[in-house]
Amino acid sequence: MELRPDRLERQLAGEPLRPVYLVAGAEPLLVQEAADAIRAKAREEGYGEREVYDAEGSFNWNTLGQGMASLSLFASRRLFDLRLPTGKPGKDGSEALREYCDNPPPDTVLLITAQDWSRAHAGKWSEAIARVGHLVAVWPLKPHELGDWLERRLRSRGLVATPDAVQRLADRVEGNLLAAAQEVDKLALLVGAARGTRSEAIDAAQMEKLVADSSRFDVFKLVDAALAGDSVRAVRMLSALRAEGDQVAGLMPMVAREVLGLCSLSRAVADGGNVASAMREARIWDSKQPIYRRALERHPAPRWEAFAAECGRIDRAAKGRGDGDPWLLLERLLVAIADGRARKLLAS
């Protein structure tokens, strides 16, 4: 069965451990916490021995099979902790994992963790795991999901915050879930020490004083915000990147690549092509297709070509070979991409 991370805890509480678990995703904190919950459940159920394997490079999958087949001198129940960073076991690994799932050894749990996951990673080996165990796919939180996640996290620490305070916290830690968790833990200590009780809701002003600015953005999220039509968020992210020491010249290759890709898509659609087929041919991830669709609906093909030309102008300015403030030019481009009504900014 495939589970969301927030369902795993309930599932663990309601059933004995299954023979195998795969916890995979690019959000290290959520992967770590899900794996820790499984390890804690294993300790409760008497799995007194734990063996750790790192499946990197030329890992010999026979080693894992031999370890499972051997008898333990110390515990009748064992947890095998397999680290698979890429989420891709290869041919030998896939076969070994399928064989394990076809005939799981008794009194043994196999926990596999991976720091990368997408639909392209899945295969018969992960289907076999989902059939006899659980696949916990950890997807990065979307911006609109962060507030709910923070509220749950605060409640788990005995804290309550007003909606404005939660939004203030989200603005501060967006793009850095580890920092978000650390800030919530810090709030539990500071607020508890100050009040002796945590029943009173934290308001926005208190949150502002208590929480450090831990936002971490990257150019991928920056472009996604503009394509999604969120000009306010795009401008805020650009400001954060500038404050962190990024340079426009370093940001432009990714911005230009996305704009040029949308140029190609918009031309294909203008020529009567199917947008879904065009995106499949361009190998655009399923998770990103909705924001691409919105961006294509917002601007016709000639405007995307104008945006591409503007990328060249910004790049020249950033490298000292053109006029204008590159930060201001990039901000105007992002706002124009996000909001069709703002395209006149590029002419100023």
Q: Where in the chain is the domain with CATH 3.40.50.300?
A: 2-138
- Does the pLDDT of residue 84 top 70, yes or no? yes
pTM: 0.65
Provide the CATH number for the domain formed by 219-347 in this structure. Answer: 1.20.272.10
- Does the pLDDT of residue 348 top 60, yes or no? no
Secondary structure string (H, E, C) spanning 130-192: HHHCEEEEECCCCHHHHHHHHHHHHHHCCCCECHHHHHHHHHHHCCCHHHHHHHHHHHHHHHH
CA distance 122 to 235: 36
3-state SS, residue 56: coil
- Does the pLDDT of residue 88 top 50, yes or no? yes
CATH topology for the 2-138 domain = Rossmann fold (3.40.50)
Q: Which of 20-24, 63-67, 282-286 has the highest mean pLDDT?
A: 20-24
CA distance 230 to 128: 40
Residue in 332, 314, 331 with CA at minimum distance from that of residue 323: 314
**Cα separations (Å) of 181 from 28, 36, 77, 146, 177?**
12, 15, 33, 11, 6
Q: Where in the chain is the domain with CATH 1.10.8.60?
A: 143-210
Angle at 221 between CA 218 and CA 226, to 5 degrees: 125
Question: What is the arithmetic mean of pLDDT over 214-226?
Answer: 81
CA distance 203 to 207: 6
Provide the CATH number for the domain formed by 143-210 in this structure. Answer: 1.10.8.60
Q: Which of 183-192, 193-202, 210-219 has the lowest mean pLDDT?
A: 193-202
Count of Cβ atoms closer than 10 Å to residue 57 Cβ? 5
For strands 78-83 and 20-25, give the pairing: unpaired
Tell me, rounded to whole angstroms, the distance of Cα 46 from its chain centroid.
Answer: 33
Sole residue written with tokens 């659980």:
134
The residue with greater pLDDT, 287 or 79, is 79
Q: Where in the chain is the domain with CATH 1.20.272.10?
A: 219-347
Q: Which of 60-74, 213-227, 254-268, 320-334 has the lowest mean pLDDT?
A: 60-74
Do residues 212 and 172 make contact, with C-beta atoms less than 8 angstroms apart? Answer: yes
Angle at 88 between CA 83 and CA 90, to 5 degrees: 110
